[in-house]
């Protein structure tokens, strides 16, 4: 999956073939690209050399040098406190800083981010090799909540938040009602905003629509996961209980 902006999301499968090969442990992602361009990779019996090619792990048969490959079943789940100034991507052709530089990619070459935080947005970013769970976490029908804390321009009064609580309409349609509250008043205002959608730059657009553009944006939680005291720029593995909680969050349609 190639991530999209801020709270945006896309379907995780089909995924890029080189990413799938990395997840299977065939090689690093860059090494997987070399395998492809050398003509050593087949999908359903056909040689695939195009680096933009995608596969659906649920039905496509992938092989390297004629030997079938598949994930080993031991998926990885990591939480990053993303700092500003990093793209939520695993590789950038222009050489800009990306979150892969903060993660243990040599040990886990198949990692990918679940959704996206924008370049200047900080906070909780989940990275995993589990495409099925990631797809469910991002799917709108499961309504997985994300809590953001923002500093917005100007003094914002509680009554001004009512359009967001009712469900404001943006240029791409109406939003679901959000839970919003003022945390700290002043020349600029700190607010908390919890949404269950994942539309492109949704939080930023919501506050701009009520006349208070976002100056800083930070994601404090994603579903049952809490960022807690994890330092900025650092990552940790999820506990077994946290992985179970994620699975429970998408177990039933809400």
CA–CA distance, 93 with 185 (Å, rounded to integer): 42
Catalytic residue among 5, 6, 118, 130: 118
CA–CA distance, 130 with 29 (Å, rounded to integer): 16
Residue 150's alpha-carbon distances to 58, 71, 80, 200, in angstroms, are 39, 39, 19, 16
- Give the other-Cβ count within 10 Å of 86's Cβ: 23
Nearest CA to 186 out of 148, 212, 149, 153 is that of: 153
Active site residue 118: yes
CA–CA distance, 20 with 115 (Å, rounded to integer): 18
Residue 44: partners with Cβ closer than 8 Å, 6 or more residues away: 60, 61
Indicate the SS3 state at residue 113: strand
Please, are residues 178 and 209 in contact by the beta-carbon 8 Å criterion?
no
Nearest CA to 164 out of 130, 215, 112, 202 is that of: 202
Nearest CA to 196 out of 158, 132, 146 is that of: 146
Active site residues: 118
């Amino acid at each position: 999956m190639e991530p999209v902006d801020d709270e945006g999301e896309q379907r995780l499968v089909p995924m890029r073939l080189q990413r799938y090969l990395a997840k299977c442990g065939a090689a690093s992602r860059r090494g997987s690209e070399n395998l492809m361009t050398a003509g050593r990779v087949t999908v359903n019996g056909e040689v695939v050399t195009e680096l933009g090619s995608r596969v659906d792990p649920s039905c496509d048969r992938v092989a390297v040098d004629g030997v079938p490959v598949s994930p080993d079943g031991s998926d990885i789940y990591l939480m990053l406190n993303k700092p500003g100034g990093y793209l939520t991507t695993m590789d950038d052709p222009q050489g800009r800083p990306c979150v892969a530089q903060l993660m243990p990619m040599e040990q886990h070459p198949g990692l990918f981010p679940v959704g996206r935080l924008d370049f200047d947005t900080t906070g909780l970013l989940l990275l995993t090799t589990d495409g099925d769970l990631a797809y469910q976490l991002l799917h709108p029908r499961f309504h997985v909540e994300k809590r953001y804390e923002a500093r917005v321009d100007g003094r914002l009064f509680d009554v001004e938040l009512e359009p967001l609580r009712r469900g404001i309409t943006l240029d791409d349609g109406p939003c679901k009602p959000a839970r919003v509250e003022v945390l700290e008043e002043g020349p600029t205002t700190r607010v908390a905003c919890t949404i269950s959608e994942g539309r492109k730059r949704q939080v930023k657009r919501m506050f701009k629509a009520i006349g208070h553009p976002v100056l800083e944006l930070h994601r404090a939680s994603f579903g049952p996961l809490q960022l807690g005291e994890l330092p900025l720029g650092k990552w940790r593995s999820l506990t077994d209980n946290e992985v179970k909680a994620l699975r429970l969050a998408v177990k039933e349609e809400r």
